[in-house]
């Protein structure tokens, strides 16, 4: 250690660098564009236990081993991860300013309470999603940086959903309601394999959420319509990763298919349990979907929503190359259509 | 499976389920509708201890049957910062895109020594940003939803650091160079055992040093693209550093008996930061690369070293200033000699 200039070695100038010059395209300089040469070669097994950047020159010092344990591409990869990362950044929104909060007007008390109960559930679900994804990051090796980058956007999305729905609950004369039964949260935290979590969160729960947000009669104000539309746009990316990763995983690890199929009953069963236990959410949805047309109409619409949730999930199963789960999943989930 | 038998009352006059504090209203202000606007009354972060072991959001009504979801830190002081809601909103408002917000078209071919020096620096930065993105995620499951703002802020940091890792990788591959030989990196930080230990080492020291360097980007960058990268990244790092300072300030004020523990973390890390940056002046690939960039080429290496020395002094003096702000002025006397020599 010295303050005095020394003769530099400059031996780094002799590194075996692969020289490239990547130009921006119509969408700018994207992650996909820089997947060139050895920088774009994603190995089936990542050999480094450190933060060695993919494609970097060899010959550096020996580094401390890190905590990465997911070193196989088949465990995390999705071909669309890089594109989804850039898309998430392009589609970013800010709950403080992108939602027309100033248009909120007082609602009938039971309608406001119903919106607040729904938002309580949505905020809590997003909080749970952020926790469960975040804790996996340090396990995923840096050979798969495109996946890690996408997961960062997912963590970011989840945080935004958590606070955006909280803001709605606290902005228009209501307040937060009763917490969720929490069984579905446990299905997420109980997933001990990354692909199991992806199936539970990105395939199953996200499909159910999307069906909810796509229900045209659900929003009561322009604020909720905006929130549901923006959140759904985010969740479409989650689903896209879930489908692409599951397909990739099964293609490269067909031996894992049975175990993955078994694991999915945990999320499906948890959702059924939550649905049966969550009378406040059921009644909130009846009020919101009923729109003054009477109890019978509300019940029919809720049953239709539940069926759409099942259908959307079954569609995701097909797209994720898990068609054999469709029939069993529909059977497990069918009781939710009767809860209305 | 439990079935609720309560009849639905879709058109009920009154809501029949328990709610948190009612009649909450908020209107957007100059910055829109922020967390500070809505988290009032019983929704504000009032308690110093949390008993929530589930995902229940602060202010919502507890279900006694909800299953627990893992171990949580119960003390607010473990993670809290008085500025946390403001820092979160700022992070939301100031996101940027490495694909489109950088004027990549301003990149022009550089002399080879400058191009490779920039690539060496970017290789180092992409490495350290890797770890800065990984580490915050580890702690999320331990954060109580009663202090949910901390989790949300860490989510923005994960996003920021991933973008930094990405933008420096892009720069290395965009102008005829590539990723060079990695240095020691910072994977050793993944062995940290405590949130406040992470805050001290990552936010207070590591990110602080990087932030100072980024703020000197006008000197390091050779073109507008690089200067803008450093400007935007410095803006992000400022929030992370602010979180570190305000969290540690809160901790020192509420749990003064943890002061010596903090010193012990810094005792261990201060010599390591000199090592990870390859020696703070001219030892190591990164420092040499910086000297080449600052001098304007290897022919002006000595000039670059003098400028680098000025940056090192600034890094250490700003570090000392942060310590004074958070309430640890005595660190000046205890600072490791490898850093203290730069204090003026």
- Beta-bridged to residue A172, according to DSSP, are B25
- Rg over CA atoms, chain A: 23
Q: For residue range A144-192, what is the model confidence (pLDDT) as tens digits?
A: 999 999 999 999 999 999 999 999 999 999 999 999 999 999 999 999 9
Average the pLDDT over each of A225-239, A268-282, B11-25, B156-170 and give the range with the smallest value: B11-25
Q: What is the pLDDT of residue B14?
A: 61
For residue A203, the SS3 value is helix
Please list every residue in chain A whose beta carbon sits closer than 8 Å to the beta carbon of residue B35. 163, 167
Closest chain B C-alpha to A220 CA, distance in angstroms? 15
User: How, if at all, do strands B24-25 and A172-174 pair?
Assistant: antiparallel
Q: What is the mean pLDDT of residues B64-68?
A: 96
Which candidate, B52, B2, B54, B4, places its Cα nearest to that of A182? B54
pLDDT at B10 over 60: no
Q: How far is CA A54 from CA A46, B131, B165, in A?
A: 9, 14, 12
Phi, psi for residue B342 in degrees, rounded to 5 = -90, -10
Query: What pLDDT is stored for residue B9 in this prediction?
Result: 38
Give the Cα separation of B242 and B87 in Å (integer): 8
pLDDT at position A6, please?
A: 60
A123 touches A166 (CB < 8 A):
yes
Spatial separation of the C-alpha atoms in residues B162 and B54, rounded to whole Å: 29
* Per-residue pLDDT, B135: 93
B236, B160 contact by CB (below 8 A): yes
B9 or B199, greater pLDDT = B199
**Chain position carrying tokens 């970017």:** B122
- pLDDT value for B272: 84
**What would the pLDDT profile of B160-191 be if each residue is shown by its tens digit?**
999 999 999 999 999 999 999 998 888 888 89
pLDDT, position A247 = 98
Return the residue in B4, B13, B42, B55 with the most chain A beta carbons within 10 A, the one to mutate for interface testing: B55
Report residue A135 as tokens: 């804790």
Phi, psi of B21 (to 5 degrees): -50, 135
Mean pLDDT of chain B: 92
- Decide: B209 and B315 in contact? Cβ < 8 Å: yes
Phi-psi region of A324 (alpha: psi -120 to 50; beta: other; left: phi over 0): alpha
Alpha-carbon distance A284 to B65, whole Å? 20
ipTM comes to 0.97
pTM: 0.96
Q: pLDDT tens digit string along B139-154?
A: 999 999 999 999 999 9
A192 and chain B in contact, CB less than 8 A? no
Contact B8 A283 (CB under 8 A): yes
CA–CA distance from A156 to each of A126, A160, B88, B157 (Å)? Answer: 10, 6, 11, 9
Of B314, B267, B273, B344, nearest in space to B124 by CA = B273
What pLDDT sits at residue B49? Answer: 96
Question: Cβ–Cβ of B174/A22 closer than 8 Å?
Answer: yes
Q: Residue B277: what pLDDT?
A: 56
pLDDT value for B344? 78
Gap between the Cα atoms of A324 and A327, Å rounded: 7
Are A34 and B169 within 8 A, CB to CB?
A: yes
Q: How many CB pairs under 8 A join A and B?
A: 428
Q: Which residues contact B320 (CB under 8 A, 6 or more apart)?
A: B331, B332, B335, B343
How many Å apart are CA A74 and CA A61, to the nearest integer? 29
Closest CA to B268 of B329, B201, B214: B201
pLDDT confidence of residue B283: 66
CA-based nearest residue to B159, from A156, A95, A31? A156
A143 touches chain B (CB under 8 A): no
> How many CB atoms neighbour CB B337 within 10 A?
10
């Amino acid at each position: 250690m010295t303050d005095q200039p020394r003769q530099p070695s400059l031996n780094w100038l002799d590194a075996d660098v692969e020289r490239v010059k990547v130009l921006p395209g119509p969408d700018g300089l994207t992650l996909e564009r820089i997947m060139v040469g050895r920088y774009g070669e994603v190995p089936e097994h990542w050999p480094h236990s450190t933060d060695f950047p993919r494609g970097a020159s060899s010959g550096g010092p020996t580094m401390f081993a890190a905590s990465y344990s997911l070193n196989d591409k088949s465990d995390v990869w999705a071909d669309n991860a890089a594109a989804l990362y850039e898309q998430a950044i392009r589609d970013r929104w800010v709950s403080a300013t992108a939602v027309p909060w100033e248009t909120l007007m007082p609602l009938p008390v039971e309608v406001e309470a119903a919106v607040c109960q729904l938002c309580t559930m949505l905020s809590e679900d997003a909080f749970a999603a952020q926790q469960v994804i975040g804790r996996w990051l340090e396990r995923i090796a840096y050979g798969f940086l495109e996946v890690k980058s996408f997961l960062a956007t997912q963590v970011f999305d989840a945080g935004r959903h958590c606070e955006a729905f909280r803001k709605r609950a606290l902005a228009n004369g209501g307040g937060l309601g009763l917490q969720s039964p929490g069984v579905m949260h446990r299905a997420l935290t109980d997933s001990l394999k990354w692909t199991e979590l992806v199936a539970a969160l990105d395939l199953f729960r996200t499909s159910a959420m999307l069906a909810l947000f796509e229900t045209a009669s659900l929003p009561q104000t322009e604020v909720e319509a905006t929130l549901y539309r923006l959140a759904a746009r985010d969740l479409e990316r989650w689903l896209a990763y879930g489908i692409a990763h599951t397909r990739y995983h099964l293609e490269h690890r067909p031996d894992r298919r049975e175990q993955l199929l078994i694991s999915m009953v945990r999320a499906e069963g948890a959702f059924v349990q939550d649905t049966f236990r969550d009378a406040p959410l059921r009644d909130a949805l009846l009020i919101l979907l009923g729109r003054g047309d009477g109890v019978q109409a509300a019940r029919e619409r809720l049953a239709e929503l539940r069926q759409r949730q099942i259908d959307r999930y079954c569609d995701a199963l097909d797209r994720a190359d898990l068609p054999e789960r469709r029939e069993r999943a529909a059977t497990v989930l069918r009781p939710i259509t009767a809860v209305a | 499976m439990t079935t609720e038998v309560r009849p639905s009352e879709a058109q009920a006059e009154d809501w029949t389920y328990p709610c948190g504090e009612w009649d909450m209203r908020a209107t957007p202000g100059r910055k829109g509708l922020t967390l500070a606007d809505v988290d009032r009354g019983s929704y504000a972060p009032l308690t110093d201890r949390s008993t929530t072991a589930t995902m229940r959001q602060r202010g919502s009504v507890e279900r006694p049957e909800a299953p627990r979801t893992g171990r949580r830190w119960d003390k607010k002081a473990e993670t809290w910062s008085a500025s946390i809601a403001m820092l979160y909103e700022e992070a939301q408002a100031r996101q940027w895109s490495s694909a489109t917000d950088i004027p990549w078209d301003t990149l022009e071919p550089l002399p080879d020594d400058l191009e490779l020096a920039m690539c060496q620096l970017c290789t180092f930065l992409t490495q350290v940003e890797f770890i800065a993105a990984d580490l915050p995620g580890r702690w999320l499951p331990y954060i109580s939803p009663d202090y949910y703002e901390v989790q949300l802020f860490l989510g923005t940091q994960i996003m920021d650091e991933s973008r930094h890792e990405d933008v420096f990788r892009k720069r290395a591959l965009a102008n005829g160079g590539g990723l060079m030989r990695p240095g020691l990196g910072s994977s050793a930080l993944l062995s940290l055992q405590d949130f406040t230990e992470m805050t001290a080492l990552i936010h207070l020291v590591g990110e602080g040093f990087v932030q100072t360097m980024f703020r000197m980007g006008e000197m390091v960058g050779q073109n507008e693209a690089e200067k803008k990268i450093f400007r935007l990244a410095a803006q992000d790092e400022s929030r992370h550093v602010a979180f570190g300072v305000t969290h540690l300030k809160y901790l020192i004020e509420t749990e003064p008996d943890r002061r010596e523990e903090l010193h012990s973390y810094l005792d261990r890390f201060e010599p390591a930061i000199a090592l990870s940056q390859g020696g703070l002046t001219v030892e190591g690939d990164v420092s040499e690369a910086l000297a080449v960039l600052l001098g304007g080429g290897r022919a002006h290496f000595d000039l670059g070293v003098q400028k680098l020395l000025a940056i090192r002094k600034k890094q250490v003096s700003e570090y000392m200033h942060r310590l004074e702000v958070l309430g640890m002025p005595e660190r000046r006397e205890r600072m490791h000699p490898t850093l203290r020599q730069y204090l003026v």
